[in-house]
Structure formats: structure tokens, C-alpha cells
Structure 1
């Protein structure tokens, strides 16, 4: 009896042990599952918080970088108009800033003897790697009977179809190819204002030029000699030997360079309101020194490395006026060529 009873008790004990073990195992499993769930939730929470914090930091940094880059490139644009673009000024800037970059668009105008004339819209994109400008692809002329020399002297236009003024280097002999747009004044008539580029027979100082231009003529821009002496010979007419392959060498005639207004460097004598600038060379020198054209500064400055007004050599100017006032320029001996640019109505 006793053994049977003991065996029964033992069986009951084992059954209870099993039940307790199962309960204990269930509790442990539940605890483990809860711990895993909590750990997962905590990991997700930490990751989410980290992501939010990093995103806010990245957005904040990108905005600061974008603003810095925007200011940098606006400064470059303003510098460029200080040393280039006769009579040309930037209008209001419109910006689209994004992450670590953006896009800047600005319209330009010319101030022609009291009138503002729209001259185009320009856009560039910028990012951490630099800036990107749209590329303008010219049309290749291949169905003409004109010679290469004639093509070299064809008029050029900006992207909205306005004629570009052209300058003639004083140290280059252009033969009978000098342009004389003063001869067109009678055909243009008296109800127009215009700008006209004057190319000189030699280099002059700024002070000399001021005394050479008639008082009734509005002098708005000085074309400055910015070429290295070693480069001047390549702007003249010469024969270039080109390797055509298979050992064949062909002599190709290179025609004298012209300097179009969008390639020229110079000094603005008026501001965007048409007001005369006192000591305009100071703005030019400052822009060269602080801008991205320090090599140009060194070329004009000469051997001493310090650019002053005395170092500036003027090869031509841009003036504005009406037909009657511009006729005062006819037959002036120091003018080798004249090129009309933008023409606008007086009223």
C-alpha cells in the first residue's frame, strides 16, 4: 500500500514538476519575447530619433552651404559685370535653392543714353562641385559661297538677336577690313539712341581719352589692353601649319582676331542709373583683385605687380548718344573703326 501510495505521490510530484516547468518556461519565453519586442522598439526608436536629428542637421547644413554658395556666385556675377559687358548690368536675381546647391537666374539690361534695354536672361546651376552654365551652340555655316576671310568678319549676335559691338586691336593691321558704322547714321535717323564702340589707332591713358572725346558724347566704357605681349603675335594674320595625318602638312591661313564685346575687358564709366562714376578705375582694380581673375590683374599691373591707373592702357571706348551728337566723331584721326551695338527708340 505504502509503495503504491509513494508511487502515486511521486507521479503527482512529477506531474506538478512538469506543470511548474512548463509554467516557468512559458514565463521565461514571454519575458524573452517581451525583452525582444522592447529591444526592437528601442532600436527602432533610437534609429528614428537619430534619423530625425541627422536629417535636421543635414538640412540645416545644406541650407547654410547653399546660402554661402549663392552669395559666392552672386559676388562672381557682380564682379564679372564690373570688368566686362559695356553698358550692361545685371537686373534682379531670382534664386531656387536646394540641398547643397541651387539655381540662379538673372535678367540683364543695357543703359543706352537714358533708356534701359533688355538684353537677355541668364541662368546657372551650382553645387558643392562648382557651377554649370547652359551651353549655347552656334549654327555651323556650310552652305555659303563666302570665303573663310569673309566669314571671319561676319556680325555676331547675342542669344536674343541683338548685334554685338566689335573692337579692332590697335597693333593688328586689318587692311581694308576696318568697320565704319558712323557711315550708317544718316540711314538710322534722328529718333534713335545707340551705343557705338570706337577702336583707337594706338593705346592711350584714361586721362588722354577723356580729353579726346567731344563733350557732347557720353563716354560709358573703356576697353582695356589685357593681352600678354607673347599672345599678341597670334592675333595677327599668319600661316598655321596643320598636320592632316599620313604625314601631310597643310598650310592654313589664320585671319586677324577681332574682339567682340562679350570677350573684352574694360572699365564702366557709368552706373546702372546712367550716373557718371568718379574714379571708375578703382572699381575695376578692386574687382580684378578680389575676383577670380588675378592673372588678368598681374598682366595689366606689369612687372611691379601693383595695378594703378597709370598701368591701364585704353585701346578703345564705348559711347552713347543720338545721331546728331555721334556725328561729332566723324573724321577724328585717332578712331580706326566704329561698330554700332544696341539701338533703341528715343521715346
Structure 2
């Protein structure tokens, strides 16, 4: 029997090529599988990091704003977006406001671009200004730093007294940011604010006198009140953001500490998070804490008188809502 060695060699080479190709295919599938699994695990970790960013923002940078949910608005393999639907409590009327959006990828977590910073425009022939959300145009309530008055430049925006203008807005509820002439304790605020107004948010204020109203638009730090305008002072269960309660002062302190460790926002040479950290070191408990302002809401006829109060430095109106016959305001 004559053996054709050329054919045998060719068959063996084909077998070797098939085996090699099979091994390569299996290796590629395994590598892809491991890679996809690693990407999914990394993106899951980044999602949790984005949630933490959202929770810190909800806790300290959301003046009279409450989030209802956190969910994925965009879900690519390498880039995703966390979105949070939000609303304001205007004396019992829940008014939808701009959502919070946070982009995250394999290597970074951050806000959804620079569009979240408000637009500021002149609103009268005087030197007053207004701030408006870029997404939906809603007016934002502004706070003014009385410590800055002594070094204020001639071209800077003047303080506003907008609550008195609400006399012309009948059958509405509205929110008003109140800046105090001097910081007040929680107990002092409870005694000062009339019972016919709902306190929605407590403004921590600023330790530095360098920060003007335009330096902190869209970046004011404070704590939301509960549905009846109060704060609590219950020791936190843990340091985890998922355990925070939005109106609990110890959780607010923890959130400010977390923000100061992970965020930066410099204006006029001052980092607002470090400024806030300096204050909570001075005011570690609710009993010791002093606030530089608040947001209140109520019927417009009850808000008009705020500008006549001796302890008030400035007032600035935010959103309003028409009173409906079938929904009674809280106050």
C-alpha cells in the first residue's frame, strides 16, 4: 500500500488550523465575556457613585426641592445618565421643577454638563438681577450675604425686596427666599416666622464676606425641612447616604463633610464646600446651629408683609402656583 504523505501532511495541517482557530475563538469569547462582565461591574459601581452624588445634592444643594426617584435615563455600555424627577412644595402645592441629571462613565462621575448653572439677567432698570433655570426658565429664589455689604463694589447687584410685590398677585401661593440681617438659631426662627407661612428650607449662609449673591447662584447650601417646616436632630444610623433623612441635621452635617471631601466649587477665591465645612464645625448640632436665611411659602397676601420685618435683610421670590378651589394650601 502506497501512502500519499503529501495528503497526510495537508490533512494534519488542516486539523491543526481548525484546532488553533477553535482555541482562538474560545479565547476571544472568554476574553469578551470577561471584559463585558468587568465593564458591567464597573458601571454598577459607577452607578452607585452617581447615586451618592445625587444624594449629597439632594441633601445640601436643593433649596425647597425634593427628589421622587433616581433612575437611568440613558443606558449605554460605557456612558449612562442618572436622572431624578424633582418638585417643590409651595405651601402644599407640589410644583414640578427641573430634574437632576448626572452623567457617568467607566472613569468619571459628574453633573450632566454645564447647563445646570442658572442664567442671571437684569429684571428691572435698577441694579437688581434675577436667576432662571436654563432648562425650563423657572425663576430661582436668591439669597444675599449681608457680610458682603461692607466690601460691595458699585457695579454689583443690589439686594431685592420682592415679597412686597406679591400684593399684585391674587389667589396664588408662592415661595420666597428670606436673607436675615444676622444669623439666627433654629429656635429663634420658629419664634419669628408667622404661623401662616410654611418654612421649606434653612440656608446655612456663608462664613466668608467675599461671596456676593452672584457668586453662589445655583450653589447655596442648606437643609430641607419636613412637611410641617421642622428639622430633627437624631443621631445618624450610619455614614451611608442611603440612610440619610433630608430634614435631619446630623445627616446634613455628614453630607456637607462628604461634599467637602469630594467636590470643589471656587468663586471669588472661596470654595463653597470648604466654607460650609467651616460652619458646621462651629455648628455641629441643631441646637448650636445658626442659619442665615430660609425659604418660606404661603398665600401671597401673607408673604407681602415680610419686607417690613426688622430682622429681614432681603427677600426674593421663586415659583408660584394658582390656588385651586379643590386644593387647600397647607397654611
Q: What's the TM-score bracket when you normalise by the shorter of the two chains?
A: 0.7 to 0.9
The normalised TM-score by structure 2 is 0.77
**Separation in 2 of the partners of 1:45 and 1:337?**
76
TM normalised by structure 1 equals 0.73
Matched, 1:216 2:196: yes
What residue ranges of structure 1 are gaps of 5+ in the alignment?
A: 1-19, 236-255
Aligned with residue 223 of structure 2, among 267, 277, 286:
267
1:151-202 alpha-carbon deviations (Å, 9 max, x no partner): xx3212112111111111121226993311122121011x111100011111
Verify: 1:172 aligned to 2:151, yes or no: no
Instruction: Pick one of 268, 273, 278 that aligns with 1:299.
Output: 278
- Contact kept, 8 Å, 2:173 with 2:297, in 1: the verdict is yes
Which residue of 70, 87, 91 corresponds with 1:93? 70
Pair 1:278-2:254 in alignment: no
Match of 1:51 among 28, 40, 46: 28
SS in 2 for 1:329: helix
C-alpha spacing 1:86/1:259, structure 2 compared with 1 (3 Å): farther
Structure 2: how far apart are the matches of 1:208 and 1:49?
A: 72
How much has 1:260 moved relative to structure 2? 5.5
How does 1:105-124 map onto structure 2 within 5 Å? 105-124=83-102
- Aligned-partner SS, 1:172: helix
What is the count of residue pairs matched by the alignment?
Answer: 289
Tell me if 1:288 matches 2:256.
yes
1:181 matched to 2:162? The reply is: yes
Deviations 1:17-63 (CA, angstroms, capped at 9, x unpaired): xxx8xx44x2x222211111111111111111111122222222221
Aligned to 1:63: 40
Report what 1:6 is aligned to.
none
CA drift of 1:112 comes to: 1.2
Report the secondary structure of 2:13's partner residue. helix
Gaps of 5+ in 2: 234-247, 264-272, 325-331
Q: 1:75 aligns to what?
A: 52
When Rg is computed on C-alpha atoms for both structures, the one with the higher figure is 1
Kindly indicate whether residue 107 of structure 2 is the aligned counterpart of residue 129 of structure 1.
yes
Q: 1:276 to 1:225 in 2, by over 3 A?
A: closer
Q: Does 1:342 align with 2:316?
A: no
